[in-house]
A and B are shown apart, each in its own frame.
Chain A
Amino acid sequence: MRILVCVKRVPAPGARINLTADAQAIDTAHLGFTTSPHEECAVEAAVQLVEGHGGEATVLTLGPVEAEEQLRYAVSVGMTAAVLLPIDGADWDPQRTAAAITEVVRRLEAADGPFDLILFGNESADAGNFQVGIRVAHALGRPMVNGAKGIAISEGAVHVRREADAGQETYELPLPAAVGVKEGINLPRYPTMKGRLASKRVEVERMEPDAETGGLRMVRLQRPAERASTTVILGRGPDAAPAVVDLLDELGVLA
């Protein structure tokens, strides 16, 4: 099997998100970076499929050159190849991102053969545009469903399970196909010693992205209004129990 996973580098803010003075970005001066959680699970899913069915799994990102960190991490947990589409400065809009990824997928497939499966996250953690994967799948003429909480390959099809309001739904997409993955589908592994070495050695292939700007343009970021709160300290240690139970009673959840 040949699998491609598209991931995005995002900051990992803790208690609070601070913005730059011009409100164009998150102030990342004191922040680490990570891969969007849904995409970490997409990477794990790809590694498991390759373990089960053989083949190779490529990780791809469009982002700043620093995003090599996230590509190498993906290799350290079992991906076999990495592709960087380097961009300067601000994020690309979703139409432009999708067009650039589509064009690079075509180039990769022309060189090495088609990907049986392309995996995305359900949505990116930072932008949450809910569309890049679907746009790529459509442009390549492949079926796709989002929100996968289960994935299995058999007889030329990918079987997808997902949660809906009323219960679980299952889908069966003929390969080649694309799937958007949600966190919870698996528990991503940690890198092994061998994986770490592989991630240092892997050659990250750089491919210049090229695509036109789309119709969604960010003007500025804003922090939502925070709920003002003064905390009532009910007590310290186990002695606070009666005060907690009084409160639960008052709020009507004790009966």
Chain B
Amino acid sequence: MTILVVVEHDRGVLADASREALTAGRHLATTTATPLDALTIGAAADAMVAELGRFGVSTVHQAHHDVLADYGPEAWGAVVAAAVEQLSASVVVAAGTDRGNEVMAWAAARLDVPFAANCTVTTPGEEDEKMAVTRVRWGGSLLEEATLTGAVRLLTMAHHAVDAAPAEEPGRATAVSMTVELDDSVSHSIVRGRVERVAGVTLATAPVVVGGGRGVGSADGFAPLEELAGLLGGVVGCSRAVTNNGWRNHTDQVGQTGTRIAPTVYLACGISGAIQHWVGAMAAKNIVAINIDPEANMVSKAGYAVIGDLHAVVPAIATEIRRRRGT
């Protein structure tokens, strides 16, 4: 029996979210006195063995197969399922990323076992095949306490739910190669092409986000927000009311079904602060709400607020910045 962590990496560089999954997996392994194993899929896996050892992994299983050169949800899910069977894993942990959730769902489907996505807490159960988890719902607006019952339990850890930490007594991991049989059908959903992202400030990484909501009133109404964002080296974000109106592209949407932002400052202009918007904005270090309604949820949740018409306030801020810079 073993606890298996499925590791996500980019050409041998371990993903942050996987460090968290490893930490969660180690806690489960320690409390149940079960060895901790890791599974890496694809090339460049050797680069990670030492670090996996520091996280408490005893054996790293390296799956190789021609089909695995590039990502494919079915193929990777099939490898996880095969590893569970070969190693008699009782619990499998992965990161709650797009890929992590997708691969685990495929593995769970193949094995016909339960899968809990985006857990924040995992507790080994009193009974052998039953464990308790707390998991994220509504994109983080709600939590669900649940039980996960089965001879094999699959779960992913929500990003940032646990702090990644190496083992107190770092060990040395042994790498072994794992051979898997894959049927042809799994190659039907392998990545066929790729377009690399152009470097630059993105909504997810920008230090300043100037967000606009229904209060902006039109697509043209965003020009002053663009200008302010430009002065601050930031980008413009928006609410779903704005994307639904066709005023901005969905790539600018902040929230449960948009992007999670974490800027130093979020200026939320004419946004009421619905819970689905808030979950995407709450990681901002500081929030300044600009709203005509002093009772708006965004105003009461923000650290700072200006009560007033954004069409007057936003240009005034830009003018003041230019005045101080002498431009």
- Complex Cα distance, B98 from A161, in Å, reads 14
For residue A29, CB closer than 8 A to chain B, the reply is no
Contact A167 B194 (CB under 8 A): yes
Identity of the chain A residue whose Cβ is nearest the Cβ of B231 in the assembled complex: A254
B98 touches A238 (CB 8 A): no
Tell me which residues across on chain B come within 8 A of A38, comparing CB atoms: 257
Interface status of A156 (Cβ within 8 A of chain B): no
Of the candidate stretches B31-39, B57-65, B133-141, B167-175, the one touching chain A is B133-141
Q: Chain A residues near B189: list those with CB within 8 A.
A: 143-145, 171, 173
Q: Would you list which residues of chain B between 108 and 164 have a CB under 8 Å from chain A?
A: 108-110, 112-118, 132, 134, 136-150, 153, 156
What is the bound-complex CA distance between A153 and B101, given in angstroms? 26
Contact A125/B102 with A94-B115, A187-B243 known, Cβ cut-off 8 Å: no
- CB of A245 within 8 A of CB of B324, answer yes
Cβ B113 vs Cβ A169 within 8 A: no
Kindly list chain A residues whose C-beta atoms are within 8 Å of the C-beta of B289. Answer: 231
Contact of B117 among A131, A170, A231, A244 (CB under 8 A): A131
> Which B residues lie within 8 Å of A98 (CB)?
109
Cβ of A32 < 8 Å from any Cβ of B? no
Q: B157: shortest Cβ distance to chain A, in Å?
A: 13
Chain B residues with Cβ under 8 A from A125's Cβ? 138-139, 256-257
- Closest residue of B by beta carbon distance from A149: B250
Q: Given A134-B106, A253-B232, is A145 in contact with B143 using a C-beta cutoff of 8 Å? A: no
Whether A89 sits at the interface, judged by CB under 8 Å, is no
CA distance A11 to B33 in the complex (A): 43
Q: Are A244 and B144 in contact (CB under 8 A)?
A: no
Q: Is B304 within 8 A of A222, CB to CB?
A: no
Report, as a range, how many residues of chain B touch the other chain. Answer: 35 or more
- Is A216 in contact with B303, judged by CB distance below 8 angstroms? no
> Would you call B67 an interface residue if the criterion is a C-beta within 8 Å of the partner chain's C-beta atoms?
no
Q: Which of B282, B286, B320 is the one whose CB lies under 8 Å from A251?
A: B286
Q: Taking the nearest CB of chain B, how far is it from the CB of A155, in angstroms? A: 14
What residue in chain B is nearest A247 (Cβ atoms)? B304
Are A215 and B313 also in contact (CB < 8 A) when A165-B10, A167-B194, A170-B193 are? no
Name the CB-closest residue of B to A162: B98
What chain B residues lie within 8 Å of A95 (beta carbons)? 112, 114
Chain B residues with CB under 8 A of A170: 191-194
B306's contact among A169, A221, A236, by CB below 8 Å, is which?
A: A236
Establish whether residues A14 and B257, one from each chain, have CB atoms under 8 Å apart when the complex forms. no
- Is there contact, CB below 8 Å, between A187 and B244? yes
CB of A191, distance to nearest CB on chain B (Å): 14
Q: Pick the contact of A224 from B142, B272, B304 — CB < 8 Å?
A: B142
A147 within 8 A of partner (CB): yes
CB-CB under 8 A for A219 and B207, given A169-B194, A240-B306: no
Instruction: Give the shortest distance, in Å, between A83 (CB) and chain B (any CB).
Output: 22
Band of interface residues on A: 35 or more
Please determine whether A130 and B73 come into contact, CB atoms closer than 8 angstroms: no
Q: Mark B267-293, 1 if CB is under 8 A from A, else 0.
A: 000001111100000100110110000
Q: Which of B148, B305, B306 has the most CB of A within 10 A?
A: B306
CA distance A94 to B108 in the complex (A): 11
B264 in contact (CB, < 8 A): yes
Query: CA–CA, A145 to B249, complex, Å?
Result: 23
With the chains together, A229 CA to B299 CA distance in Å? 10
A135 to B118, CA, bound (A): 17
Type the 1/0 row for B74-109, where 1 means its CB is closer than 8 Å to any CB of A. 100000000000000000000000110110111011
Whether the pair A13, B288 counts as a contact (CB closer than 8 A) is no
Contact A248 B188 (CB under 8 A): no
Question: Which residues in chain B, 1-57, are within 8 Å of chain A measured between CB atoms?
Answer: 10
Considering the chains assembled together, what is the distance between the CA atoms of A216 and B289 in angstroms? 40
CB of A166 within 8 Å of the partner chain: yes
> In the complex, what's the smallest C-beta–C-beta distance from B12 to chain A, in angstroms?
14
Subset of 6 A-B contacts with CB under 8 Å: A129-B115, A131-B104, A184-B253, A221-B137, A241-B317, A253-B233
Which B residues contact A (CB, under 8 angstroms)?
Answer: 10, 71, 73-74, 98-99, 101-102, 104-106, 108-110, 112-118, 132, 134, 136-150, 153, 156, 185, 188-197, 207-208, 232-234, 240, 243-244, 246, 249-251, 253, 256-258, 264-265, 272-276, 282, 285-286, 288-289, 294, 297, 299-309, 312-313, 315-317, 319-321, 324
Top 4 closest A-B pairs, CB basis? A215-B114, A184-B250, A238-B316, A138-B109
